């Protein structure tokens, strides 16, 4: 049995290593293919040893993945061994940077199996930066449409502001409770309705950062056949799933590298199909994006391809760490990560739903599908009191910290999925104004949310059975809880 027993008993309940060993044996018996992911148990002890040395249970992989110790060593070696200069030049140190930046670009395209004559890889600060590039340059005009699913990160929702500023129509395809999926028949209707527009942009996530639902990649062709350009937000999908851009051909794919392999932060990419990229109209020019510019003749000659979209100097010291991270993922295997996350998620979903109070009432409410089918390793839920009220998510944070457990609480920047999960109607939201002087807590009360949001557990490349088992050990703290402290900190932002 390769599971590391935490060094100290967490939280208020006695921790029983024998119970962990028994539970892991039963889990492995039920999921024999889990043994094929043993490489992750080995790496957990070496590359990610800091987790168990400190007794940390990390369950926020959708927030950010974890880096292996060797990624940092390898990156430091690259920086120590050679001198790198600003790549906007042709001197030797500049050329050394250019070689590594272009090598990383090619490695990213290779990772996603994206043909170089079909896709460009544009380096950005993060997935949000990639989405902003599309939003601000998409040629929206009156009669054009921006369509998005309710299930989207706010960094996608923000594109509606660019659309509206150019007079375009915006629309949302709702989710269906309780599974938080999109009805495909309804989606087709939305896609068909906007037919006459010249420019139509549709955006959805390959995997929800709220519910873990995986939305169909078949929608890409479905929309493109109807004249839409398609953004598939893959920020929460690619850390644990294979994306093959030789098989599916979204026009725009935003990602963040820290979500894939933990390090470096501050770097993401926009993978863009070349014909779609050519349709974008940049609202400005800058250093790094022009062949030539002058002030007296008002001349601007823009560069093309990825260079047109990389403003100023790229993060040339950080970018080499991307190739190191991809090599690390390659050694583990993305399919191995998928398989492991699927098995652990199945166990955790069942365990959470089986958690009951002494009177037999359910102690949790899960948002999204109740089984593992068509979902990734992200689970959002609330603990319930025995009388059915929701346990304040801030109290969950307090107890989780005592157990050294890292989870996320709130609405995870996914407004539409949160609104559906908490049954907030359009009428309620239109009627509720966020008035001057209010804080988020006042607004939550005004719209009648039962608590400030959900609890999100997400699994990733270094997750092991002990993590989910310790989480369930922590979860039992909420059995039969009827009262919580009144002095929880105010909620200031979502
Ligand atoms: C689905 C999804 N899209 C976009 C983002 C934004 O990513 P970033 O904050 O790295 O820009 C996130 C972050 O959690 C996400 O989960």
pLDDT, tens digit, 9 for 90 and up, residues 442-472: 888 888 888 889 999 999 999 999 999 999 9
What pLDDT sits at residue 10? Answer: 41
Residues annotated as catalytic (active site), given as ranges? 413
Q: How far is the CA of 128 from the centre of ligand 1 (A)?
A: 6
- The protein residue whose alpha carbon is closest to atom 2 in ligand 1 is 235
**Whose structure tokens read 């990624």?**
71
Once rounded to an integer, what is the mean pLDDT over residues 292-308?
A: 97
Asked whether 256 and 126 are in contact (CB, 8 A), the reply is: yes
pLDDT, tens digit, 9 for 90 and up, residues 199-237: 999 999 999 999 999 999 999 999 999 999 999 999 999
Q: pLDDT at residue 2 above 50? A: no
- The protein residue whose alpha carbon is closest to atom 7 in ligand 1 is 127
For residue 494, count other CB atoms closer than 10 A to its CB: 16
Between 164 and 7, the more confident residue is: 164
What pLDDT sits at residue 8? Answer: 38
Distance from the first to the final alpha carbon of the chain: 41
Whether this prediction's pTM lies above 0.75 is answered by yes
For residue 191, count other CB atoms closer than 10 A to its CB: 22
Residues near 215 by Cβ (< 8 Å), separated by ≥ 6?
149, 151, 181, 182, 204, 205, 206, 207, 208
The pairing of strands 57-58 and 405-406 is parallel
What pLDDT sits at residue 109? Answer: 98
**H/E segment holding residue 293:** strand 290-293
Residue 125 CA: nearest ligand 1 atom is 11
Residues near 178 by Cβ (< 8 Å), separated by ≥ 6?
367, 368, 370
**Whose structure tokens read 């590359």?**
47
What pLDDT sits at residue 275? Answer: 97
Residues near 430 by Cβ (< 8 Å), separated by ≥ 6?
none
- How far is C-alpha 109 from the chain's CA centre? 20
pLDDT, tens digit, 9 for 90 and up, residues 92-147: 999 999 999 999 999 999 999 999 999 999 999 999 999 999 999 999 999 899 99
What pLDDT sits at residue 7? Answer: 36
State the pLDDT confidence band at 195, using cuts at 50, 70 and 90.
low
Once rounded to an integer, what is the mean pLDDT over residues 287-292?
A: 96
Between 9 and 397, the more confident residue is: 397
What pLDDT sits at residue 431? Answer: 83
Sign of CA dihedral 471, 472, 473, 479: positive
Once rounded to an integer, what is the mean pLDDT over residues 1-27?
A: 65
- Greatest pairwise CA separation for the chain in angstroms: 80
Q: Could you give the strand order of the β-sheet that contains 408-410, starting from the edge strand earlier in sequence?
A: 364-367, 378-383, 454-458, 408-410
State the pLDDT confidence band at 6, using cuts at 50, 70 and 90.
very low
Q: pLDDT at residue 1 above 70? A: no
Residue 127 CA: nearest ligand 1 atom is 11
Q: How far is the CA of 235 from the centre of ligand 1 (A)?
A: 6
Q: pLDDT at residue 262 above 90? A: yes
Substitution site in 234, 256, 380, 494 for ligand 1 pocket (most atoms within 8 Å of beta carbon): 256
Q: pLDDT at residue 276 above 50? A: yes
Once rounded to an integer, what is the mean pLDDT over residues 371-392?
A: 96
Label residue 67 exposed, middle or buried (CB < 10 Å: 0-12, 13-18, 19+). buried
Asked whether 24 and 4 are in contact (CB, 8 A), the reply is: no
Give the binding-site residues of ligand 1, using a 6 Å CB cut-off.
Answer: 62, 126-128, 153, 155, 205, 209, 233, 235-236, 256, 268
State the pLDDT confidence band at 411, using cuts at 50, 70 and 90.
confident
What pLDDT sits at residue 360? Answer: 97
Asked whether 368 and 379 are in contact (CB, 8 A), the reply is: yes
Q: pLDDT at residue 88 above 50? A: yes
Q: pLDDT at residue 3 above 60? A: no
- Using CA atoms, how far apart are residues 235 and 253, in angstroms rounded to an integer? 8
Instruction: Kindly report the average pLDDT of the chain as a whole number.
Output: 94
What pLDDT sits at residue 449? Answer: 86
What pLDDT sits at residue 402? Answer: 94
What pLDDT sits at residue 494? Answer: 73
Once rounded to an integer, what is the mean pLDDT over residues 322-331?
A: 98
Strand partners, 268: 124, 256
- The protein residue whose alpha carbon is closest to atom 14 in ligand 1 is 63
């Amino acid at each position: 049995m390769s599971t590391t027993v935490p060094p100290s008993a967490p939280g208020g309940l006695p921790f029983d290593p024998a119970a962990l060993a028994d539970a892991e044996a039963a889990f492995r018996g039920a999921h024999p293919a889990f043994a094929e992911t043993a490489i992750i148990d080995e790496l957990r002890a070496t590359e990610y040893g800091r987790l168990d040395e400190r007794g940390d249970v990390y369950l926020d992989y959708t927030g950010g993945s974890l880096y292996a110790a060797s990624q940092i060593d390898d990156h430091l070696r690259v920086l120590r061994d050679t001198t790198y200069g600003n790549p906007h030049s042709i001197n030797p140190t500049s050329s050394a940077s250019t070689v590594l930046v272009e090598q990383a670009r090619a490695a990213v395209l290779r990772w996603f199996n994206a043909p170089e004559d079909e896709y460009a890889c544009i380096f950005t600060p993060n997935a949000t930066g990639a989405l902003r590039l599309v939003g601000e340059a998409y040629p929206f005009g009156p009669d054009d449409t921006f369509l998005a699913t309710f299930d989207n990160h706010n960094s996608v929702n923000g594109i509606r502001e660019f659309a509206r500023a150019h007079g375009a129509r915006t629309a949302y395809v709702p989710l269906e409770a309780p599974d938080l999926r999109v009805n495909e028949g309804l989606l087709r209707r939305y896609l068909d309705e906007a037919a006459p527009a010249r420019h139509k942009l549709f955006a959805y996530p390959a995997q929800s950062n709220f519910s873990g639902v995986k939305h169909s990649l078949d929608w890409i062709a479905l929309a493109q056949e109807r004249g839409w350009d398609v953004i598939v937000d893959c920020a929460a999908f690619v850390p644990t799933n294979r994306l093959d851009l030789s098989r599916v051909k979204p026009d725009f794919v935003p990602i963040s590298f820290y979500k894939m392999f933990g390090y470096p932060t501050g770097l993401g990419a926009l993978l863009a199909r070349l014909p779609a990229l050519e349709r974008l109209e940049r609202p400005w020019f800058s250093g790094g994006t022009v062949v030539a510019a002058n002030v007296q003749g008002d001349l601007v000659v823009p560069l093309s391809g990825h260079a047109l979209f990389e403003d100023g100097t790229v993060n040339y010291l950080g970018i080499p760490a991307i190739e190191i991270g991809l090599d690390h993922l390659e050694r583990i295997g993305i399919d191995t990560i998928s398989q492991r996350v699927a098995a652990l998620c199945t166990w955790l979903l069942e365990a959470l739903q089986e958690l009951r109070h002494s009177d037999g009432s359910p102690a949790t409410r899960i948002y999204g599908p109740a089984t593992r089918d068509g979902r990734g390793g992200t689970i959002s839920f609330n603990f319930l009191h025995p009388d059915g009220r929701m346990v304040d998510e801030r109290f969950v944070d307090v107890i989780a910290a005592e157990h050294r457990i890292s989870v996320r609480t709130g609405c995870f920047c996914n407004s539409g999925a949160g609104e559906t999960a908490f049954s907030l109607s359009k009428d309620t939201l239109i009627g509720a104004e966020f008035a001057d002087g209010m804080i988020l807590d006042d607004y939550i009360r005004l719209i009648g949310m039962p608590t400030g949001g959900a609890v999100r557990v997400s699994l990733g490349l270094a997750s092991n059975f002990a993590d989910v088992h310790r989480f369930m050990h922590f979860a039992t703290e909420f059995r039969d809880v009827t009262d919580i402290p009144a002095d929880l900190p105010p909620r200031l932002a979502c």
